[in-house]
Amino acid sequence: MMGKSSHFQARIPVYNLEMRPKSALVESQMKGIILFVAAAGLGIWITGCSQLNPGAGANSAADREADERAIRNLDADWSKAATAKDIDKVMSYYADDATIFVPNEPMATGKPSIRVEWTKLFSSPAFALSFAPSRVDISKSGDMAYEYGTYIA
């Protein structure tokens, strides 16, 4: 008996499994470093704003430009201090009640605790950190600013 021949075609999903070069621990550490740098940047911003504009009130465009330059200069100085592992200079940028988040460590609040964390980081020969702001925005009233940028750790 002759019948029609049939072709059966099965579709099997093929998954592309990709090897990831970073372990979960390294990814976790990188997230922690990002958070740490963001907290350090916030500390610089808070300190910079309190030094730049002690009185409230409307700021002119020229005042905001001067504030932006001052914040960028503070960032550059902080980055140089961190690169040089100058603990006293780094600590000078923190308020007495500041808080930082260091990867794989509990948060540190207050200058004595923050100094301990920076001392641990600086004791590592491989530690390196630099930060450069990409953008600094100052509010029209001059009582608030924010920045973001790039860090290398």
Return d(Cα 88, Cα 120) in angstroms, integer: 14
User: Which of the four pLDDT bands, split at 50, 70 and 90, describes residue 2?
Assistant: low
For residues 111-138, average pLDDT = 90
> Is residue 68 helix, strand or coil?
helix
- Tokens read off for 111: 């200058």
Return d(Cα 78, Cα 87) in angstroms, integer: 11
Do 99 and 107 contact (CB within 8 A), yes or no?
A: yes
Domain map (residue ranges) of the chain = 26-52+59-152
For 28-69, write each residue's pLDDT tens digit: 555 666 666 666 766 676 666 555 545 545 578 888 889 999
Please tell us whether the domain made up of 26-52+59-152 is placed in CATH 3.40.720.
no
